[in-house]
Amino acid sequence: MTKNNKIHFEVSERKVLLRIFDVIFVWSLLRSTGNFLDLNYLETSSTNFYYAIVLAIYINVIGTVFEMYSLHIASNQFKILKSCILTASTSVLFYLLTPVLSAELPNNRIQILLFYFTVLFALVLWRTIYVKFLASSRFVQNVVLICDQEQVEELIQALEKSDPHYRVVAYVNTVTNKNGHSTYHFVKNIEIANIVDFINDTIIFEIVIASKKTEDITVELYQVLLLLLESGTNIREYNQVFEDKVQRIPVQFITRDFYKFFPFSRSNYNKLYQLNIKIMETVISIIGLLFGLIFLPFIIIGNAIGNPGKLFYTQERVGKHGKIFQIIKFRTMVINAEKNGAVFSTPNDSRVTVFGKFLRKTRIDEIPQFINILKGEMAVIGPRPERPIFVKEISEIMPFYETRHVIKPGLTGWAQVNYVYGISIEDSLIKLQYDLYYIKHRSVFLDLNITIKTISTVLFYRGQ
């Protein structure tokens, strides 16, 4: 049996690699440049333990905001150049404006300029190396998929969109009444009897089993898989791979015994976690409302000019355990926008006013919801609350939809930072998968990730 000696990096490994070498390249270049040109500020910023750590934290956190660690951005030379410039500029600015945490500013101001360009060049140099070598085709993970032929297109699209280096090169049809041999997306259909020969001739990263029915795994197929497993071939179940790669729960491929393999995060019931979250939510809500009060005069003027009518808008939403509450927002639509009945909002919705579009894009329309958070009806992070009429409609199609209500709905969430604004039932299914992933993996680190991505969404004006 041919051994798989090809170098592979998982998604999480590549992101860690990017973060570590961003810092290493910046430290190394600052130190070498400081030594060569006798610039004390550059050398101290990279050799002093505390200053170097502060700089590393700034680069990693701000780099996350500007999508430096999105693999799709990191693999594109033009897009990553833009992110490098934004990250270097903002990180250096923060570093300069926190003199207590960073090195003392030099008397010779030219060092500040050289410091900035050194940080920028280090990031661009490392990311160019990554694009040219580590993001190349030699690191592609070739996969064999075992599934029903009718599922092939949907399964492959979901996996390959999430990771450009994860490529399904062949599939085995588990349905016995095959209608000839077919291919999809240049993916070869292979017979069970030919699996071993194909893997011997091709460097395969793993085999993924996506069969919905146990009876589809025949004795012949089981024996072949067992032989491959014993010879060192990695074999995984599709739901596990999908969750790891896409970071959402594939409920469309799971039957009604879903809850057997859906262990909710302990954080959902951890008293200490809940207390910390409650304190943080109270502080954030107060700051958010104060921020809203500062800008309230400008919002009132803008509303009077470009959005005539009431300033605030309330609407019924479904909260934790299915309890109905009134959500509060700045009004963004024309008066009587739903005189013909409730419908999903769509991109370029004609009912949204000119000023309302600005409020939505900047997420300013969400500020009043901090009142809902202080009242305990919502959380800062969680699934977005949906309207009762849509919950009823969607629940009839998606049996797991109301699982979202085991925790409080949130001002922002995993679905909001990873997916476009929902305008259909199909979009609601995708967002449900992200919401269930959050409920399953809820933690301080995931909450922090969502917070940083929310900042990125606001900065890049992606609200809807």
pLDDT tens-digit series, residues 231-285? 888 999 888 888 888 888 887 666 555 555 566 777 777 888 889 999 999 999 9
The per-residue pLDDT for 87 is 95
User: Do the domain assignments include residue 252?
Assistant: no
- CB 23, CB 59: distance < 8 Å: yes
Task: Say how many domains are in the chain.
Answer: 3
Burial of 369 (0-12, 13-18, 19+ CB in 10 A): buried
Q: Are residues 38 and 180 in the same domain?
A: no
User: Do the domain assignments include residue 254?
Assistant: no
Alpha-carbon span 126 to 27, nearest angstrom: 12
Q: Which of 93, 126, 104 has the alpha carbon at shortest distance from 40? A: 104
- Range of 29's domain? 11-134
Beta-ladder partners of 237: 209
Q: Are residues 89 and 183 in the same domain?
A: no
Q: Are residues 391 and 337 in the same domain?
A: yes
Q: Are residues 16 and 81 in the same domain?
A: yes
Indicate the length of the chain as a whole number. 464
User: Do the domain assignments include residue 371?
Assistant: yes
Q: Are residues 79 and 157 in the same domain?
A: no
The per-residue pLDDT for 218 is 83
Record the tokens describing residue 370, joined without a space.
Answer: 């901090």
The per-residue pLDDT for 1 is 47
Last residue of a domain, one of 134, 168, 197: 134
Q: Are residues 381 and 450 in the same domain?
A: yes
Give whole-number Cα distances, 49 to 52, 67, 88, 105, 116, in Å. 5, 27, 20, 17, 19
Q: Are residues 415 and 376 in the same domain?
A: yes
Q: Which of 433, 435, 431 has the alpha carbon at shortest distance from 420? A: 431
Q: Which of 115, 92, 122, 22 has the alpha carbon at shortest distance from 64? A: 22
User: Do the domain assignments include residue 6?
Assistant: no
Q: Are residues 112 and 164 in the same domain?
A: no
Taking 70 as the pLDDT cut, the residues of the chain under it are: 1-12, 136-139, 176-186, 212-214, 252-263, 339-342, 344, 346-347, 421-423, 461-464
Q: Are residues 277 and 239 in the same domain?
A: no
Q: Are residues 276 and 356 in the same domain?
A: yes
Q: Are residues 110 and 178 in the same domain?
A: no
The per-residue pLDDT for 110 is 92
Q: Are residues 270 and 371 in the same domain?
A: yes
